[in-house]
Structure 1
Amino acid sequence: MTDTLTPIPPEHPLRGRVTPPGSKSITNRALLLAALARGTSRLSGALKSDDTRYMADALRAMGVAIEEPDATSFVVTGDGQLRAPAKPLFLGNAGTATRFLAAAAALVDGEVVVDGDAHMRKRPIMPLVTALRSLGVEAVTDTGCPPVKIVGRGALPAGRVEIDGGLSSQYVSALLMAAACGDGLIEIALTGDQIGARGYIDLTLAAMKAFGAEAEQASFSLWRVKPTGYRAADFLVEPDASAATYLWAAEILTGGAIDLGVPANAFTQPDARAYDVIAKFPHLPDSIDGSQMQDAIPTLAVLAAFNEKPVRFTGIANLRVKECDRVSALSQGLSRIRPGLGSEEGDDLIVASDPALAGQTLPASIDTHADHRIAMSFALAGLKIRGVAIEDPGCVAKTYPDYWKALSSLGVKYEEEAR
């Protein structure tokens, strides 16, 4: 097992073609909706990673037939009903799977326990639990985080439910998808006007529509979902925009040309808006609001280390409740490269940019906190600085198992240290 992986800065621009994996966010939505549909759905271009395997295995445990004919396809066959699993659903540190299945468990006639690893057990889920309770669903958590016990009655009760989406849009998406299998019309209303990464709600609504649901956005903070259920469909998953950000950054850092096979403006995922920011390097804005492209912030923060002037990242408080506290992890990692390179002010991250870092040898061991995005983003620093060692590089399997191979295909070499 490789303990650390240290990229060797390439002496040439990175050029070539790399196809990013399928979108994790869309794959897990499509898997759940196909499982709730009657008939057989074929998902192509899908992501096969730790997060999507947790989702697929959980759905299998709830009585759904899922086949995997090739590396990017799922064939999902269901009868429109999920069953109570024989044991708790273990979902690792997969936030989408955990939140989505906690709401979907209300559609089961029986008890479901949704659980995860030690990291997932620190990630909040109380806003979703509170919303389910308000609809009359029995939902119990002792800590405000997983594990969560849900006792379903075969359908989500009709009515109006209010949800606090300030911490995560996943709570709203979870309710929206379950609501199409309700006893009647369900209204979902935000308790305030704050919602993390709102663009993911659009992904959810588009996926629901593809599987036959009818959901109307009545206002900025109100959705109405009809009890249509879902019908089977063939569904194409677009490439992962969050994964694409690493390749866009690698291209501009090395002056290369990396063909992703899809133009940036073809992505529908929120993180694709990072492309326009990356294109401004080395003249990134003084301040970058990360609220609507949260998973792209690690990429942008490491890129900012080489910018012409310092960069402040705002609107990123939600990053503290991701796979790890990413604000802290980024600050610490940057400052391991050079003391003071990263710092925190409240929930803001300040990067003390210095183009002269490029070409230096600055031995630094980066604690990834088992977070795939910390590992992949700090690999970018290793394209310009010699000695940046990525701890636990295998954690990229969560969303991009072939990440290191992808960089290698472009000519990046590594020094490896094994246990």
Structure 2
Amino acid sequence: MNTEAEKLTMVPPGHPLEGRVSPPGSKSITNRALLLAGLAKGTSRLTGALKSDDTRYMADALRAMGVRIDEPDDTSFIVTGTGRLSAPERPLFLGNAGTATRFLTAAAALVDGTVVVDGDSHMRKRPIAPLVEALSALGVTVEAETGCPPVTIAGRGGFPGERVTIDAGLSSQYVSALLMAAAGGDRPVEIGLAGEEIGARGYIDLTLAAMRTFGAEVTEPGPSLWRVQPTGYRAADFLVEPDASAATYLWAAEVLTGGRIDLGVAADAFSQPDARAQRIIAAFPHMPALIDGSQMQDAVPTLAVLAAFNETPVRFTGIENLRVKECDRIRALSIGLSNIRPGLGIEEGDDLLVASDPALAGQTLPAEIDTFADHRIAMSFALAGLKIHGITILDPGCVAKTYPRYWRALASLGVTFEGVAP
């Protein structure tokens, strides 16, 4: 599939989508495992891993910090570390990879030397101040002038402090970053939340599970409080589960077309928070009138586009954090939906109201969807193109961030595209 084309126009298949599609490995888990294996002493084998823009940025950054990473096949990394990271010769460029940027900002405190963590123009608009403030409270010399990358960290081999409270209202990744780095220090570190608000708490559980696989000792002495021992990490073999966020597009394509798509993994086998979206997708076309997206944030674009064809309108709440993702996803969804039909997507504060209409299916409603270089906007609006004629996705290649073979996956199910040869 020529995903370097500037646009891709969907052709509604007009038949149920049936077949077998294996989702790629989880981005969230792959980047956690890469970092932990890079911090470990010895050789780790990561299988089932995702190879995409985001994970390549993480792997290349670790290589720049002295970690050997081999890639024997399309889904494996062999990672050999010394137990320490070295200061890179130049700034770490991480594109718009949020996990890599946040995780490496904290891990840089373990380096003896200065590390600059930077990204592209989109990443330079994504907030990192809460993590910078927490690192500063732990005695790390760190600076981010704009509250967003670039971040300069003067590492001293660990955290001088032993206790910190962090505001994780914008992202649980701040907590995950501190947790993973803390085990590499020279003293126990206690990490607590400021308040009860946290973006997608389930991702903390993913972090803790991965840390323990690589030998970390973490206890939870109280609600929203973690104590990490300075164990360091030991090499391990690690199987990455398929990506639940990617699975949501396939689950939605299945119900939209009345098809049957075998993902090779049951919905209840996922440990990732976005898998809970499957229950809502299965209820289509009778999705609930109110959906709280706070704990399955990356699934919200899928659910919002699916909701356009629901029997009744759907309001999405708890999604304010979507404004600081790869783009302002609330805005991107409302613009894209309303390009299909005026008023189909409405922003009300930080809520998104989708004025559902099953009669949209089968209509010709030419609309160019601005993806804002956001992979999830591109992949979710492709779902609209399964039922509506004239849906054109701009910058389709942006899906390479997490699902490089997405368009080929749809093509394997019988979906075709105008002007782009498979």
TM-score (norm 2): 0.98
The one-letter code matched in structure 2 to 1:179 is: A
User: How many aligned residue pairs are there?
Assistant: 418
Rounded Cα–Cα distance in structure 2 between residues aligned with 1:95 and 1:173: 12
Rounded Cα–Cα distance in structure 1 between residues aligned with 2:77 and 2:362: 44
Residue of structure 1 equivalent to 2:271: 268
Residue of structure 1 equivalent to 2:174: 171
Q: List per-residue Cα deviations over 1:292-334 (Å, max 9, x = no partner).
A: 0000000000000000000000000000000000000000000
Rounded Cα–Cα distance in structure 1 between residues aligned with 2:70 and 2:419: 36
Give the one of 215, 220, 227 matched to 2:230: 227
The one-letter code matched in structure 1 to 2:360 is: L
The answer (yes or no) to whether the contact 2:137–2:161 under 8 Å persists in 1 is no
The one-letter code matched in structure 1 to 2:178 is: L
Deviation at residue 416 of structure 1 after TM alignment: 2.6
Deviation at residue 158 of structure 1 after TM alignment: 4.3
Task: Judge which range, 46-55 or 211-220, deviates more.
Answer: 211-220
Residue of structure 1 equivalent to 2:63: 60
Residue of structure 1 equivalent to 2:370: 367
Rounded Cα–Cα distance in structure 2 between residues aligned with 1:269 and 1:101: 21
Is 1:345 aligned to residue 357 of structure 2? no
Residue of structure 2 equivalent to 1:99: 102
In the TM superposition, 1:9-408 aligns within 5 A as 9-408=12-411
Rounded Cα–Cα distance in structure 2 between residues aligned with 1:416 and 1:161: 54
Rounded Cα–Cα distance in structure 2 between residues aligned with 1:233 and 1:384: 45
Rounded Cα–Cα distance in structure 1 between residues aligned with 2:195 and 2:116: 29
Deviation at residue 218 of structure 1 after TM alignment: 2.0
The answer (yes or no) to whether the contact 1:181–1:228 under 8 Å persists in 2 is yes
Q: Which structure 2 residue ranges, 5 or more long, are not aligned?
A: none
The answer (yes or no) to whether the contact 1:15–1:258 under 8 Å persists in 2 is yes
The one-letter code matched in structure 1 to 2:62 is: L
The answer (yes or no) to whether the contact 1:135–1:161 under 8 Å persists in 2 is yes
TM-score (norm 1): 0.99
Deviation at residue 219 of structure 1 after TM alignment: 2.2
Deviation at residue 182 of structure 1 after TM alignment: 1.7
Rounded Cα–Cα distance in structure 2 between residues aligned with 1:151 and 1:311: 48
Are residues 256 and 107 of structure 1, via their aligned partners in 2, closer, same or farther at CA, if it must alter by over 3 Å? same
The answer (yes or no) to whether the contact 1:60–1:66 under 8 Å persists in 2 is yes
Rounded Cα–Cα distance in structure 2 between residues aligned with 1:186 and 1:158: 7
Deviation at residue 7 of structure 1 after TM alignment: 1.2
Q: Which structure 1 residue ranges, 5 or more long, are not aligned?
A: none
The answer (yes or no) to whether the contact 2:317–2:350 under 8 Å persists in 1 is yes
The answer (yes or no) to whether the contact 1:341–1:352 under 8 Å persists in 2 is yes
Rounded Cα–Cα distance in structure 2 between residues aligned with 1:33 and 1:416: 43
The one-letter code matched in structure 2 to 1:286 is: A
Deviation at residue 201 of structure 1 after TM alignment: 0.1
The answer (yes or no) to whether the contact 2:306–2:384 under 8 Å persists in 1 is yes
Rounded Cα–Cα distance in structure 1 between residues aligned with 2:159 and 2:37: 18
Rounded Cα–Cα distance in structure 2 between residues aligned with 1:193 and 1:209: 24
Deviation at residue 217 of structure 1 after TM alignment: 1.8
Rounded Cα–Cα distance in structure 1 between residues aligned with 2:167 and 2:59: 28
The one-letter code matched in structure 1 to 2:60 is: D
Deviation at residue 417 of structure 1 after TM alignment: 6.4
Q: List per-residue Cα deviations over 1:53-80 (Å, max 9, x = no partner).
A: 0000000000000000000000000010
The answer (yes or no) to whether the contact 1:310–1:352 under 8 Å persists in 2 is yes
Identity of aligned residues (%): 78
The one-letter code matched in structure 1 to 2:22 is: T
The one-letter code matched in structure 2 to 1:295 is: D
Is 1:8 aligned to residue 11 of structure 2? yes
The answer (yes or no) to whether the contact 1:156–1:181 under 8 Å persists in 2 is no
Deviation at residue 156 of structure 1 after TM alignment: 2.3
Q: List per-residue Cα deviations over 1:225-246 (Å, max 9, x = no partner).
A: 0110000000000000000000
Structure 1 runs of 4+ with >2 Å offset: none
The one-letter code matched in structure 1 to 2:118 is: D
Rounded Cα–Cα distance in structure 2 between residues aligned with 1:416 and 1:372: 20
Rounded Cα–Cα distance in structure 1 between residues aligned with 2:222 and 2:363: 52
Deviation at residue 221 of structure 1 after TM alignment: 1.3
Q: List per-residue Cα deviations over 1:36-59 (Å, max 9, x = no partner).
A: 000000000000000000000000
Rounded Cα–Cα distance in structure 1 between residues aligned with 2:151 and 2:140: 12
The answer (yes or no) to whether the contact 1:187–1:225 under 8 Å persists in 2 is yes
Q: Secondary structure at the match of 2:96?
A: coil
